[in-house]
């Protein structure tokens, strides 16, 4: 029993630190975008790929890494992910051009994919079912703490020490996380050790998703983008058909077709992240480029959302152990919809209190949605599918985030083209922000119905997807 408690303690600490690093990096980099653009004299499109490149790489590789983790071992893939994430953070500081920085962010995304696909699966493997909601809530709170500190600390570091300092901080965090994972997690989990990895399926998925997302985001500035997006969609269709036929697929289609709770919970996650992730990017541009705040002040304004997410997520997770997860998550989705719709009214004279209050509303909504939805997903499958369930959820999150950025980038490019940020018309920027927020609000409204459609889970038996 003492050994189990020690394993649980160090597993939770290690996963929490890793869960802090990735969202901290994402939210901190948003505040540094104008400074990076100024240093490299870059267009808005290329700057958006400092964010989108990381997301796209993570989304394209997360599902393959989740499957590899089930076969080779979740700890092994987790350690590999920490190493690559930390190394690429160091390389980002050495970037000599915007293209080099985007490339190193792609590499960082590969490391992030290995972390996303294994962290939650490790926690679910270590802790008993009756503690799952509490632990996932604690982990979600860590994620949101990273999101909270990202704008404040990242904005201040960018203001006083330059944008490179944000990446250096991740190196300092990544090294002890790697040591903890190697020396203190004395266990390995590979419930599908005897099965084979579908390399052809992994190639179809990764190339297809990458082509679709890049093609969609570049439609306004790159002529062949539509053909590239169409080719990506075709490859993804071929991937789904292959997964339905092969004996040991990378993605068990029956998890989606034969498990209503799993399918609709993942759909709700995809919609929620698609509708919310670009908010930080858009508001960072709005506060700094349109309203003229420096990155430190903009970070303080953006703080209100992730703080409430961090404070409320553990309570939402505990609540989902006692109340139907779909009820709590659907209320969260509803509050998020209202908050997104209210951002349609921003302009050149919008008071700061309105932005802070609305961000707080979004924070409450997302906290009520995220932990219960994660609990529903991990509680809807059997133990041997934990890795795939975790990586599928991560794929929905990252694909949704990439889609959110792709849509925001497309709308901004349609209004200001390849203009640099400091030369962009503030009126056109605001118009693009308004269009983005209303599209996100409509999408989130549809997500409420996906959340409700998952059905009751308490007392329901877990289907056998084998």
pLDDT tens digits along 31-42: 888 889 888 888
308/353 same-domain check: yes
- The predicted pLDDT at position 1 comes to 54
- The predicted pLDDT at position 245 comes to 83
424/345 same-domain check: yes
Of 249, 269, 285, the position where a domain reaches its end is 249
190/72 same-domain check: yes
129/187 same-domain check: yes
CATH of the domain at 107: 1.20.1250.20
282/216 same-domain check: no
- The predicted pLDDT at position 372 comes to 84
Domain-located, residue 389: yes
264/279 same-domain check: yes
- The predicted pLDDT at position 461 comes to 45
Q: Please write down the HEC assignment for all residues of 141-174.
A: HHHHHHHHHHHHHHHHHHHHHCCHHHHHHHHHHH
Domain-located, residue 311: yes
296/406 same-domain check: yes
- The predicted pLDDT at position 334 comes to 93
- The predicted pLDDT at position 235 comes to 93
pLDDT of 24 strictly over 50: yes
pLDDT of 21 strictly over 90: no
172/216 same-domain check: no
What pLDDT, in 10s, does the model give residues 260-297?
A: 888 888 889 899 989 988 888 888 888 888 888 888 88
Domain-located, residue 466: no
190/202 same-domain check: no
- Is residue 286 classed exposed, middle or buried when 0-12, 13-18 and 19+ CB atoms within 10 A define those classes? buried
Query: How does residue 389 score in pLDDT terms, banded at 50, 70 and 90?
Result: confident
Residue 257: C-alpha distances to residues 235, 250, 251, 416, 465 (Å): 20, 15, 12, 42, 10
Query: How does residue 457 score in pLDDT terms, banded at 50, 70 and 90?
Result: low
Domain-located, residue 304: yes
Query: How does residue 223 score in pLDDT terms, banded at 50, 70 and 90?
Result: confident
Residue 46: C-alpha distances to residues 21, 51, 100, 280, 344 (Å): 24, 9, 11, 17, 26
With CA atoms as reference, report the closest residue to 218 among 429, 402, 430.
402
Domain-located, residue 35: yes
Domain-located, residue 465: no
84/74 same-domain check: yes
Query: How does residue 417 score in pLDDT terms, banded at 50, 70 and 90?
Result: low
Domain-located, residue 458: no
- The predicted pLDDT at position 8 comes to 78
Of 249, 272, 292, the position where a domain reaches its end is 249
Host domain of residue 317: 2-197+250-452
What pLDDT, in 10s, does the model give residues 148-203?
A: 777 778 888 888 888 899 899 889 988 988 888 888 777 777 777 778 888 888 89
Q: Which two tokens stand for residue 408?
A: 């925001």
What pLDDT, in 10s, does the model give residues 232-251?
A: 999 999 998 888 888 877 77
The mean per-residue pLDDT over the stretch 434-448 comes to 93
The mean per-residue pLDDT over the stretch 305-334 comes to 81
Of 249, 271, 290, the position where a domain reaches its end is 249
Q: pTM (2 decimals)? A: 0.75
pLDDT of 438 strictly over 90: yes
Cα–Cα distance for residue pair 256/450, rounded to 1 Å: 14
pLDDT of 320 strictly over 80: no
CB 18 within 8 Å of CB 75: no
- The predicted pLDDT at position 89 comes to 92
Per-position DSSP letters for 125-142, written without gaps between them: HHS-GGGHHHHHHHHHHH
CB 378 within 8 Å of CB 120: yes
Q: Which residues of 300-311 are buried (b: 16+ CB within 10 A; e: fewer)?
A: bbbbbbbbbbbb
- The predicted pLDDT at position 302 comes to 82
> Is 454 strand, coil or helix?
coil
Domain-located, residue 244: yes
- The predicted pLDDT at position 463 comes to 47
The mean per-residue pLDDT over the stretch 376-405 comes to 77
> Is 187 strand, coil or helix?
coil
191/206 same-domain check: no
129/159 same-domain check: yes
Quote the number of domains for the chain.
Answer: 2
């Amino acid at each position: 029993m003492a050994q189990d408690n020690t394993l649980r303690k160090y597993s939770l600490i290690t996963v929490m630190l890793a869960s802090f690093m990735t969202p901290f990096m994402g939210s901190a980099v948003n505040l540094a975008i104008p400074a990076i653009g100024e240093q490299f004299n870059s267009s808005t499109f290329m700057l958006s790929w400092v964010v989108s490149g990381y997301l796209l790489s993570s989304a394209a590789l997360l599902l393959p890494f989740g499957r590899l983790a089930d076969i080779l071992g979740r700890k092994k893939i987790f350690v590999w992910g920490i190493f690559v994430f930390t190394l690429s953070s160091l390389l980002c500081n050495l970037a000599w051009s915007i293209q080099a920085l985007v490339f190193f962010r792609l590499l960082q995304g590969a490391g992030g994919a290995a972390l996303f696909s294994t962290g939650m699966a490790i926690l679910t493997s270590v802790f008993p079912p009756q503690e799952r909601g509490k632990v996932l809530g604690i982990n979600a709170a860590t994620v949101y703490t990273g999101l909270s500190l990202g704008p404040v600390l990242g904005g201040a570091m960018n203001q006083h020490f330059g944008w490179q300092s944000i990446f250096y901080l991740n190196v300092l965090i990544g090294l002890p996380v790697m040591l903890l994972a190697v020396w203190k997690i004395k266990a390995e989990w590979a419930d599908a050790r005897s099965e084979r990895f579908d390399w052809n399926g992994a190639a179809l998925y990764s190339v297809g998703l990458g082509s679709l997302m890049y093609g969609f985001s570049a439609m306004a500035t790159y002529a062949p983008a539509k053909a590239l997006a169409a080719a990506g969609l075709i490859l993804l269709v071929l991937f789904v058909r292959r997964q339905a036929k092969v004996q040991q697929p990378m993605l068990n289609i029956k998890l989606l077709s034969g498990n209503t709770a799993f399918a609709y919970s993942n759909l709700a996650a995809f919609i929620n992240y698609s509708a919310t992730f670009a908010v930080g990017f858009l508001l960072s541009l709005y506060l700094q480029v349109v309203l003229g705040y420096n990155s430190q002040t903009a970070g303080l304004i953006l703080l209100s959302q992730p703080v409430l997410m961090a404070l409320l997520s553990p309570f939402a997770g505990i609540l989902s152990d006692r109340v139907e997860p779909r009820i709590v998550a659907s209320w969260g989705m509803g509050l998020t919809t209202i908050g997104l719709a209210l951002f349609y009214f921003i302009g050149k004279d919008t008071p700061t209190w309105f932005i802070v209050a609305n961000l707080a509303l979004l924070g409450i909504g997302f906290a009520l949605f995220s932990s219960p939805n994660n609990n529903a997903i991990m509680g809807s499958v059997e133990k041997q599918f934990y890795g795939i369930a975790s990586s599928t959820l991560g794929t929905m999150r990252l694909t949704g985030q990439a889609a959110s950025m792709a849509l925001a980038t497309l709308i901004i490019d349609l209004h200001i083209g390849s203009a640099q940020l400091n030369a962009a018309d503030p009126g056109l920027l605001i118009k693009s922000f308004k269009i983005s927020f209303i599209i996100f609000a409509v999408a989130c409204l549809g997500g409420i119905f996906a959340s409700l459609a998952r059905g009751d889970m308490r007392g329901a038996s877990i289907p056998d997807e084998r």
